[in-house]
Amino acid sequence: MSSLNIRNALLLSLACSSVALTACETTQTSQTPAKSHSTVKADTHKKAHWGYGEHGSVAPSEWGDMQGNAVCKTGKEQSPINVTEATKSIMPLNFKQGFQAEDFTVKNNGHTVVFNATNPSKNKISVYGKTFELLQFHFHAPSEHTIMNHHYPLEIHFVHKSKDGQLAVVGVLYKAGPDNAQLAKVADKLVKKGQKATLANFNVSSIMPKNKQTLAYNGSLTTPPCSEKVQWLLQKTPVTASKGELTKFINSYKGNNRPVQAINGRTVSID
């Protein structure tokens, strides 16, 4: 994947990078079927748990039929997306990051491994003048967002929340290349379900790209309940890691990526 090609003054054709996010924290079980669903399907969804179709779990194409998850199917601003072009934003994103080392508690939630910040106020970002605190980060393998239909082997979502409850997710894509000693620290903490760990004194900026060029768009959680009004901040520049490091994530969860969703007229802006 490469970079951006200017198509005209405002439009850019993307060749590389993106990020996506989701709060993979949510665990919700299906109790009742959607009205449109057949009885047979309804039965299969009873007590079923959402997933990616593995071990009888409810696959992404049917999340919207599960109770409380209708927006997964009916929403018009769903994530992830395939990024094919970006428009120079009229309103400056003004993306600022204030990250410092902090401790994370690590938990495998059955869908991904989540690194929960022990002190969210230590790490903040701001976009469009609004401040968000880092709650957690987690991964998807392969990437959820695609650039020109290209998946990266790994995508990490850094989930932030504002005081009034709005979510902003910084997505970072990773590709094979030189060793990444910082990402290796994360890879070494990918616990199995039921186990716990701590990632101490870790600065998340160390596994983000130095080039902060950002693809911003309005989207959703990429896991049920697929809630919208998520400010996505996909980092255009992928970060490299060794194949061995990437393999540790893939061995932890492979295929925990929701397929890309319809753009529905949304624009992706680039600052």
CB of 250 to Zn ion, least distance (A): 15
**Sequence-distant (≥ 6) Cβ neighbours of residue 71 within 8 angstroms:** 64, 78, 220, 225, 226, 227, 228
The answer to whether 145 and 81 are in contact (CB under 8 A) is yes
Phi first, then psi, for residue 247 (nearest 5°) are -65, -30
Instruction: Give the position of tokens 């409850």.
Output: 165
Give the separation between CA 46 and CA 190, rounded to whole angstroms.
31
Question: Is 160 near Zn ion (CB under 5 A)?
Answer: no
CB atoms within 10 A of CB 9: 7
Choice between 157 and 236, CB closer to Zn ion: 157
Give the separation between CA 230 and CA 22, rounded to whole angstroms.
9
Radius of gyration over alpha carbons of the chain, in Å? 18
CB of 99 to Zn ion, least distance (A): 19
Question: Is 220 near Zn ion (CB under 5 A)?
Answer: no
Question: Is 231 near Zn ion (CB under 5 A)?
Answer: no
Choice between 171 and 209, CB closer to Zn ion: 171
Active site residue 140: no
Question: Binding segment for Zn ion among 13-21, 47-55, 83-91, 238-246 (CB under 5 A)?
Answer: 13-21
CB of 138 to Zn ion, least distance (A): 6
Closest to 145 in 3D by CA, of 80, 242, 222, 54? 80
Question: Is 22 near Zn ion (CB under 5 A)?
Answer: yes
Question: Binding segment for Zn ion among 54-62, 67-75, 98-106, 156-164 (CB under 5 A)?
Answer: 156-164
CB of 23 to Zn ion, least distance (A): 7
CB of 69 to Zn ion, least distance (A): 16
Choice between 34 and 217, CB closer to Zn ion: 217
Question: Binding segment for Zn ion among 15-23, 99-107, 188-196, 229-237 (CB under 5 A)?
Answer: 15-23
Give the separation between CA 254 and CA 250, rounded to whole angstroms.
5
Question: Is 157 near Zn ion (CB under 5 A)?
Answer: yes
Q: Please give the C-alpha separations between residue 187 and each of 51, 100, 103, 252, in angstroms, as whole numbers.
A: 22, 20, 15, 9
Give the separation between CA 264 and CA 187, rounded to whole angstroms.
36
CB of 140 to Zn ion, least distance (A): 5
Question: Binding segment for Zn ion among 3-11, 149-157, 232-240, 243-251 (CB under 5 A)?
Answer: 149-157
Among 37, 49, 55, 111, the active-site one is 111
Choice between 157 and 189, CB closer to Zn ion: 157
Choice between 34 and 115, CB closer to Zn ion: 115
Q: Let me know the angle formed at the C-alpha of 256 by 248 and 26, rounded to the nearest 5 degrees.
A: 115
Question: By the criterion CB under 5 A, which residues form the site for Zn ion?
Answer: 21-22, 157
Catalogue the active-site residues. 111
